[in-house]
């Protein structure tokens, strides 16, 4: 199926009814990986609203690599053929420019087309899920039943729910409304182009002249995705990355540019699963790898934990759901927190050599 054809077939789930005030069991803000997987995992007898600020179909700037944890979460769901990019799997090559070293890791990372992946996940939403795109969260209240005020089609509307779940990414409006806990963020830039020669492995590049994070080069459907992430005031260093890649023989014809905010938690305190009757999942909770920005596996794992908590505790109220979610998601939080020191080591050329060697040996 072609990209153009698939855009016309993006599933919309059930239509959102037009009453002035809505009453739902669960409201999920954000129809990305976490929101759609969560919506599709909830019991069919719940009244669920899934909303997103952007108009659909929409694209997402993302490398689109599924690590082993993502593959395990999605096993048995029958991911369709059009979701996979070519090559369908790829290995990693870590290139440490500062130390003049490279490490190749034999690892099966599944390579997906992010639009097709999101389209498929959206289709997993149950028949009882109402969906509204172009719907912006303006405020969230935690008094009594949770309520969300949104603007939709030029109108402000209030939605009541037993539980509100923020799955709205690194720039989560739900998180800002429900808590004052902030998470460190970067601005990710990507350039998609047609390479002069085929590329097999995915490259993760470390060069402190560019940033103290990493940059990536990913083969995808005959194209190549070149990206990096920066503090907003330093994004001009993306051009240094392009120059260095050209110097090392990687040439491409640019098709388009993409950008997105990316969470990069640098302390345990930045991870927040919610407050009172509001839950946060995926990047909205700060659950993303601080080493390589991988967020799909954390989105899926936290969404599954939230779905279980809702299924088991919703009759007791939203705060009971949050307590159960915090218990179930504790391993996910521990996973992210455990990678923070490694992220700091990778930022230092002096410590990176040993850290990369252990990564390659351990497969993570």
Q: Residue 222: left if φ>0, alpha if ψ -120 to 50, beta else—which one? A: left
> Of the given ranges (127-131, 205-209, 232-236, 245-249), which has the lowest mean pLDDT?
232-236
Q: What is the mean pLDDT of residues 102-131?
A: 84
Q: What is the CATH number of the domain that holds 8?
A: 3.50.50.60
pLDDT of residue 3: 27
How many whole angstroms separate alpha carbon 361 and alpha carbon 210? 26
**In which domain, by residue range, is 252 found?**
65-113+184-265+342-362
Asked whether residue 113 carries a pLDDT value surpassing 50, the answer given is: yes
Q: Give the tens place of pLDDT for each residue, 2-39.
A: 222 333 333 444 455 554 446 889 999 999 999 999 99
pLDDT of residue 34: 95
- Locate 6 and state its tokens: 């698939």
| Statement to judge: residues 166 and 214 lie in one domain | no
How many whole angstroms separate alpha carbon 316 and alpha carbon 259? 41
| Statement to judge: residues 197 and 308 lie in one domain | no
| Statement to judge: residues 126 and 55 lie in one domain | yes
How many whole angstroms separate alpha carbon 111 and alpha carbon 246? 24
Q: What one-character DSSP code corresponds to residue 80?
A: -
Q: Which helix H or strand E contains 242, and what residues bound it? A: helix 238-247
Per-residue pLDDT band for 66 (boundaries 50, 70, 90) equals very high
- Locate 339 and state its tokens: 């990678």
| Statement to judge: residues 190 and 155 lie in one domain | no
Q: Give the tens place of pLDDT for each residue, 290-299.
A: 999 999 999 9
Distance of CA 203 to the CA centre of its chain: 20
Structural domains counted in the chain:
2
How many whole angstroms separate alpha carbon 329 and alpha carbon 331? 6
> Of the given ranges (115-119, 143-147, 253-257, 332-336), which has the lowest mean pLDDT?
143-147
| Statement to judge: residues 254 and 138 lie in one domain | no
Q: What is the CATH number of the domain that holds 96?
A: 3.30.9
Q: What one-character DSSP code corresponds to residue 78?
A: -
| Statement to judge: residues 151 and 243 lie in one domain | no
pLDDT of residue 362: 65
| Statement to judge: residues 130 and 49 lie in one domain | yes
Q: What one-character DSSP code corresponds to residue 75?
A: T
| Statement to judge: residues 233 and 298 lie in one domain | no
Q: Give the tens place of pLDDT for each residue, 236-253.
A: 789 999 999 998 889 999
pLDDT of residue 1: 27
Q: What is the mean pLDDT of residues 133-143?
A: 86
| Statement to judge: residues 51 and 190 lie in one domain | no
Per-residue pLDDT band for 128 (boundaries 50, 70, 90) equals low
Q: How many residues does the chain have?
A: 364
Per-residue pLDDT band for 233 (boundaries 50, 70, 90) equals low
- Locate 24 and state its tokens: 């739902």
How many whole angstroms separate alpha carbon 297 and alpha carbon 73? 8
Asked whether residue 55 carries a pLDDT value surpassing 70, the answer given is: yes
Q: What is the mean pLDDT of residues 37-66?
A: 86
pTM of the model as a whole: 0.90
| Statement to judge: residues 106 and 254 lie in one domain | yes
- Locate 338 and state its tokens: 């455990």
| Statement to judge: residues 109 and 195 lie in one domain | yes
How many whole angstroms separate alpha carbon 166 and alpha carbon 191? 29
pLDDT of residue 60: 78
| Statement to judge: residues 108 and 123 lie in one domain | no
């Amino acid at each position: 199926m072609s990209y153009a054809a698939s855009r016309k077939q993006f599933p919309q789930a059930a239509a959102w009814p037009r009453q002035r005030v809505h009453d739902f069991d669960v409201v999920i803000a954000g129809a990305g990986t976490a929101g759609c997987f969560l919506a599709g995992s909830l019991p069919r007898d719940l009244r669920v609203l899934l909303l997103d600020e952007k108009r659909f179909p929409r694209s997402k700037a993302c490398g689109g690599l599924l690590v082993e944890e993502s593959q395990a979460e999605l096993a048995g769901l029958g991911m369709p053929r059009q979701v996979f990019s070519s090559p369908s799997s790829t290995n990693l090559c870590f290139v440490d420019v500062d130390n003049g070293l490279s490490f190749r890791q034999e690892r099966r990372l599944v390579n997906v087309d992010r639009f097709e992946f999101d389209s498929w996940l959206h289709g997993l939403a149950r028949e009882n899920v109402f969906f509204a795109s172009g719907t912006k969260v303006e405020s969230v209240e935690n008094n009594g039943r949770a309520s969300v005020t949104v603007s939709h089609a030029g109108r402000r509307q209030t939605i009541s729910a037993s539980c509100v779940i923020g799955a709205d990414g690194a720039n989560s409006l739900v998180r800002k409304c429900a808590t004052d806990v902030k998470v460190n963020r970067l601005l990710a830039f990507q350039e998609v182009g047609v390479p002069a020669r085929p590329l097999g492995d995915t490259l993760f590049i470390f060069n402190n002249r560019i940033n103290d994070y990493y940059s990536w080069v990913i083969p995808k459907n005959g194209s190549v995705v070149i990206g990096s992430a920066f503090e907003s005031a330093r994004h001009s260093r993306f051009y240094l990355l392009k120059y260095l890649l050209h110097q090392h023989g990687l040439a491409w014809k640019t098709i388009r540019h993409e950008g997105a905010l990316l969470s990069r938690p640098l302390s345990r305190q930045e991870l927040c699963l919610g407050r009172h009757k509001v839950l946060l999942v995926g990047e909205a909770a700060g659950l993303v790898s601080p080493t390589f920005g991988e967020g799909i596996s954390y989105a899926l794992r936290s969404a599954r934990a939230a779905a279980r908590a809702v299924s088991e505790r919703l009759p007791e109220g939203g705060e009971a759901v949050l307590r159960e979610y915090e218990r179930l998601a504790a391993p996910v939080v521990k996973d992210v927190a455990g990678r923070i020191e490694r992220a700091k080591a990778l930022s230092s050329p002096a410590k990176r050599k040993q850290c990369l060697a252990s990564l390659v040996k351990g497969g993570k």
